[in-house]
Structure 1
Amino acid sequence: MPDSRIGLEIDSRVAVVTLDRAEKRNALDAAMIDGLAAACRTIEHDAAVRVVILTGAGNRAFSAGGDIQAWSGKAPDDFGRFWLREGHDAFAAVARLRQPVIAVLNGDVFGGGLELAVCADLRIAEQHVRIALPETGLGIIPGWSGTQRAARRFGAQLVRRMALFGEVFDADAALRLGIIDHIVESGAGMAAARQIAAQVCGRAPLATELTKMLVNAAEGEESERVLEALAGIAAARSEDLQEGLAAFREKRPARF
């Protein structure tokens, strides 16, 4: 792994990704963003992994978002070209994992932390969490798809309330508004996630993967890739492909 602060543990069919920077409230810097993307590549190519759990170290924060010290000194062009773009790429890698992703929100979920949580398919919040998009109070925007993916998944009005008007939601409000899916007692998030992960592992893996792809496409998440991937799977299973490859190897016209 490029950065040890992105923990990756694979136990049988469950992968656990941990933002491991508790002393900084699991704030993300550039190296951690690279590490998150690398963890996704590892998980994506591990045929045994059926479900992913994403969480933060400690109990103060799932993630406080992007590390202000990591981005505040960047030139404007570098801020847009690298910090925002590479964060987008890493978060998209989470959202587009073929496996279902469960986020365990075990503390504050602010800014980029919420944008990362949005990438999960299911969000479990511990009772003490707070959820917010505070960027405009710092003079910056929610730049890791807070105005896009979050609006698609939660609704634009909730994003307006957080990003424009500064509302901070507790766990009860977040559940009522559909930002999270379950509330558990403080400290019980990981146990709840593992229980749900076991249920996912009991379902048909290919059907689960294809269904996630289709739901993502319905939301406007990677529609082009989903269509071509599904068509490619169908073509790769066909007798036409076997005949085409055989003809190529034997240097003869194909007989479809």
Structure 2
Amino acid sequence: MANGTVKVDVIGHVAVMTVSRPEKLNALDLDMLKALGAAADEVEANTQVRAAILTGEGKGFSAGGDIRAWGGMRPEEFGHAWVRYGHRVFERLATLRVPLIAALNGHALGGGLELAGVADIRIAEEQIKIGLPETGLGMVPGWSGTQRLVKRFGPQVVRRMALGGEIFTAPEARSLGLVDIVTETGNALSSARSYAERIATRGPAALEVVKLMIAAASGEDNGSAVEALGSILVAKTGDLKEGVASFVEKRPATFKGEW
């Protein structure tokens, strides 16, 4: 399906979300943020999907936030309608129930790197560059560049990008843990498909639970991850079924502690 500026295609058990604004190197504006959120919801709702891929159309993965989209905003509008809304969308992608692979077919800079950072696995083509250039514009990373990226990649590499303005090549990014696999130019999506298909052969329930456990262990999502794990566990019990049945039938529940 097409979803505004983000295309969603499902083949077998793999969904591909493609950011589609190639004439702007897939720079993000509000419409694209909304479309990314809707795409995440679509993938989440499809019970056939066991792995997902996020990529960009054309020569770029994402050049980050479109300056024309936010440059003229009032400070309060910038903080709420742009930064906080983007946070919600990126968090939605980061907490997809299925593993997410970013296929970096082009540069991932600023908000583009923050977008790549929501994925569980990053596969980059050898020609791409990665960085956080925001301070050169007098601003700061606003979509978890100093939060999620620090948790996932470590504070020092983020310091080098955000404070020092360093831009890394794909091989350098791999050596620093920013990407997991480097592939030849033009091969990011096919490599991501192969990796996603490997994931899709594994137990879907186990994948979902392991993803939640890793999020809790890394401190990214302690509260909601623990509650999701507990809720899934309790939902499988005979006690929950009995509790719901007793409520519907307006009678006292008889719990047996059955798992």
Q: Indicate whether the TM-score tops 0.5.
A: yes
Q: What is aligned with 2:139?
A: 140
| Identical counterparts, % of pairs | 51
**1:163 match:** 162
Please tell me whether the aligned partners of residues 2 and 31 of structure 1 are also in contact (alpha carbons under 8 angstroms): no
The equivalent of 2:173 in structure 1 is 174
8 Å Cα contact 2:234-2:240 kept in structure 1 = yes
Query: Where do 5+ consecutive residues of structure 1 fail to align?
Result: none
Query: Once the 2 structures are TM-superposed, how far is the Cα of residue 191 of structure 1 from its aligned partner?
Result: 1.1
Distance in 1 (alpha carbons) for counterparts of 2:147 and 2:254: 48
Helix, strand or coil: the match of 1:63? coil
Q: Distance in 2 between matches of 1:234 and 1:108?
A: 41
Matched, 1:35 2:51: no
Q: Which residue of structure 1 lines up, in the alignment, with residue 23 of structure 2?
A: 23
- Answer yes or no: is the 8 Å Cα contact 1:114–1:132 preserved in 2: yes
SS in 2 for 1:186: coil
> What secondary structure does 1:151 align onto?
helix
With over 3 angstroms needed to count, the CA separation of the structure-2 counterparts of 1:67 and 1:3, relative to structure 1, is farther
| 2:222 equivalent to 1:227 | no
User: How far apart, CA to CA, are the structure 1 residues paired with 2:221 and 2:233?
Assistant: 19
Instruction: State the match for 2:202 in structure 1.
Output: 203
Which residue does 1:244 correspond to in 2?
A: 243
- Aligned to 1:173, the other structure's residue is in SS state helix
Q: Which moved more, 1:217-226 or 1:68-77?
A: 217-226
Where does residue 184 of structure 1 map in the other structure? 183
Q: What corresponds to 1:45 in structure 2?
A: 45
Give the C-alpha shift of residue 3 in structure 1.
5.0
Compute the TM-score of the two structures, normalised by the length of structure 2.
Answer: 0.96
Report the CA distance between 1:198 and its aligned residue: 1.2
Letter aligned with residue 207 of structure 1: A
What RMSD over aligned residues (CA atoms) do the two structures have, in Å?
1.2
| 2:128 equivalent to 1:129 | yes
Are 2:3 and 2:38, in contact at CA under 8 Å, matched by a contact in 1? no
Quick one: distance in 2 between partners of 1:127 and 1:236? 45
Question: Which runs of 4 or more aligned residues in structure 1 lie more than 6 Å from their structure 2 counterparts after TM superposition?
Answer: none
How far apart, CA to CA, are the structure 2 residues paired with 1:248 and 1:203? 37
Question: 2:56 & 2:249 partners in 1: Cα distance?
Answer: 55
The separation in 2 between residues aligned to 1:164 and 1:27, in whole angstroms, is: 22
Which whole-Å CA distance do the structure 2 matches of 1:246 and 1:149 have between them?
42
Find the counterpart in structure 2 of residue 14 from structure 1.
14
For 1:2 and 1:34, the matched residues in 2 are separated by: 13
Q: Which residue of 1 is the match for residue 76 of structure 2?
A: 77
Amino acid at match of 1:160: R
Which residue identity is paired with 1:21? Answer: R
Matching residue's letter, 1:251: K
Q: Which amino acid aligns with 1:19?
A: V
Superimposed CA distance per residue, residues 86-117 of structure 1 (whole angstroms, 9 cap, x where no aligned partner): 10011111110011111111111100000000
* Contact 1:2–1:38 (8 Å) recurs in 2: no
Aligned partners of 1:71 and 1:99: how far apart in 2?
31
- Are 2:3 and 2:39, in contact at CA under 8 Å, matched by a contact in 1? no
Unaligned runs of 5+ in 2: none
Deviations 1:15-40 (A, max 9, x none): 10111111101000001001101111
C-alpha separation between the residues in 2 aligned to 1:172 and 1:249?
A: 59
Distance 1:79 1:119 in 2: 22
2:63 matched to which residue of 1?
64
Q: C-alpha deviations, 1:137-194, integer Å up to 9, x for none?
A: 0011100000000011111111110011110100111111111001110001111111
Aligned partner of residue 212 in structure 1, secondary structure: helix
